[in-house]
Structure 1
Amino acid sequence: MTGFTTLRTNRWTGPSMETDTPPVVVAIPVRNEAENIAGCLDALARMDRRGIQLLAVILVFNGCSDTSWETASAWRGSTRLPLRLIEVALDPALNHAGGARAAALSLALTALGERRGGTILTTDADSRVPREWMVQIQAMIDGGADAVAGEITVDETAAVWPESLRSRHRIEAEYASLLDEIDALCDPVPHNPWPRHRRCSGANLAFRADALRELRALPAPPYGEDRALVDACLARDLSVRHAPSPRVETSSRLTGRASGGMADTLSDRSRQHDLPCDAMIEACSTHVYRATQRARARRTFMPGVPDAALAHSLGVPAHQISGAPSLHFGDTWQWLERCSPSLARVPLSPGDLPREITKAKAWLAKRLNVALREIPA
């Protein structure tokens, strides 16, 4: 990736625990995180790294107006990490969270150079990875995953949340988990078995380096770059594991560093209680239809068949008619979701959630009861 200029660098070489395994790089974008960066680095230093060749932890500073650089530099005295500090200036069109993440990943790829294999993990400077983070994710990569989208836990103990926001957070999480289970039952995927989820957070992502190199470009939208990165992998039919563990603890702050990020969303919801839910939180019946159609499309897809032909075979109307042959199922499915009115996402309002939770529980009870009856005695 171009789109940024390196302003200064600094490096401290810690014990990289050389092994004959492919190298690992951790990439972290940083903007005005003087209060959090030491805690982030403390957690990384506590990681279990047995059998891991940690090549570098790269902190990529962008647009900092506080003492983030100085704080990270002062931390080096206690480090057991091979730490690199890089300050960049992003091009104006990329001066946002997505551009910062793409720059960090690009610099991680550069650090790997011509080495064979390799894994790139990324988290946020206001987050704390658990001790087993690197070992568990590397095991999934070694097991065949091209990308791992992990779960996060919001640090509610430090939150100054109104009770309305806490209540909404709990009920949305409950319903999202029910939809996750419905998705897994309707559209089972061997490389992404249950338990799984459907979320993507930049605080807990990892990629096989060669998988990132397969992408046409590193996605860099102003916000939502975590989902864009995972979607880009899915479009290429790369194996994405939405892993329920290990979980990374992330900040619950209501004032963020990136416009349109998690903090902005939480802040808006704390002030306006009736704001729509995330687009992934949809009506139970719609979600069942979406997951069932995806499973049918996955079974019937053949490389080289035009997108419109698959839409016709599924009985899914589309706004646009694409005659181009599709080489990847993921690309075709994303086209269908963009172009079919029957697959349009209609977010729920918070008031809809209790009713939809009841429906989802009833659907799962019926489905699982049927499945149990089908097991021979």
Structure 2
Amino acid sequence: MTASTGHLVSHLGVVVPAHNEERHLGAALEAVGTAAGVLQGQRPGLGVRVLVVLDACTDLSASVAGRFAAADPRFNVLQADFRSVGRSRREGNRAVLAEAGALGVPEKEIWIANTDADSRVPAHWLTRQLELAEAGADAVLGSVEPDSDGMDTGLLQRWHARHRLQDNHHHVYGANLGVRASAYLAAGGFPATESGEDRSLVRKLRSGGAVIAATDSNRVITSGRLEARAPRGFAGYLLALALDPRGAES
């Protein structure tokens, strides 16, 4: 796809916050690496960097991320003690922007794709985000689907009954969210909160007139666990849905 005038992306960063995710992190980073490879196969000159933000990890997450960083120069690791997914995303995005800025890349040409350490992106994840970005989107809201492996069948059915996986959906997921740097900065970036940072950013983007594309064309698989890493996050919602099918807020 040819980029519309003024919408070209020349640098892409991926931010993956992680807190004690040794079980899922390897698969998550493998999937991101595959998506980056597919994109660069189509766009050899495009700069791609992946930043894993290890937030207060006490398990083997650092070892997992370190293996990727040692084997692939596109991967970097940021060690932190934020204890906040919002701050992890904020600082990760800030680091990506700082690196691209040092290379002289204009903010409007930087795209940041955000996902989670317990999620697996599809091979065309980044390619599709850039297609929409270069067609004029300031942000891309992708869909997610719980991993059915080990998840209660009834709970999975209730989740699907509440979530229509289609284009122009109204959902916001930090595990599948891309944004142009210029729009991100104009909206003030992710707030440094314990949860809800993704919805807060999108509200500000919308209020500022950003062009937002909501799509089901690059669906991400995310963990169906019920043990929450962040208050009011995806796992917390699944737990609420399991305990009270009528009262959980999507």
TM-score of Structure 1 vs Structure 2, range by shorter chain? 0.7 to 0.9
Cα distance, 1:44–1:65 mapped onto 2, change above 3 Å? same
Whether 1:160 aligns to 2:160 is no
**Among residues 47, 52, 59, which one is paired with 1:54 in the alignment?**
47
Cα distance, 1:233–1:21 mapped onto 2, change above 3 Å? closer
Residue in 2 that maps onto 1:239: 211
Whether 1:96 aligns to 2:84 is yes
**Which letter maps to 1:202?**
G
Structure number having the greater helix percentage: 1
Taking the aligned partners of 1:218 and 1:44, their CA distance within structure 2 comes to 21
Whether 1:206 aligns to 2:178 is yes
Residue in 2 that maps onto 1:129: 121
**Which letter maps to 2:194?**
P
Residue in 2 that maps onto 1:265: 237
Local SS of the residue matching 2:199 = helix
Local SS of the residue matching 1:170 = helix
Whether 1:24 aligns to 2:16 is no
Q: Is the 8 Å Cα contact of residues 21 and 51 (structure 1) preserved in structure 2? A: no
Runs of 4+ more than 3 Å apart: 75-79
Whether 1:109 aligns to 2:97 is yes
Cα distance, 1:216–1:277 mapped onto 2, change above 3 Å? closer
Taking the aligned partners of 1:205 and 1:274, their CA distance within structure 2 comes to 27
Residue in 2 that maps onto 1:248: 220
How far off its partner does 1:274 sit? 3.8
Instruction: Name the TM-score, length of structure 1 as normaliser.
Output: 0.58
How far off its partner does 1:162 sit? 5.7
Which entry has the higher C-alpha Rg, 1 or 2?
A: 1
Cα distance, 1:247–1:110 mapped onto 2, change above 3 Å? same
**Deviations, residues 121-171 of structure 1 (Å, cap 9, x unaligned):** 110011111111111111111111111111112111x133262x2332132
Structure 2 alignment gaps of length 5 or more: 1-7
Cα distance, 1:33–1:235 mapped onto 2, change above 3 Å? same
CA root-mean-square deviation: 2.1
Q: Is the 8 Å Cα contact of residues 27 and 123 (structure 1) preserved in structure 2? A: yes
Structure number having the greater strand percentage: 2
Whether 1:73 aligns to 2:63 is no
Taking the aligned partners of 2:189 and 2:174, their CA distance within structure 1 comes to 17
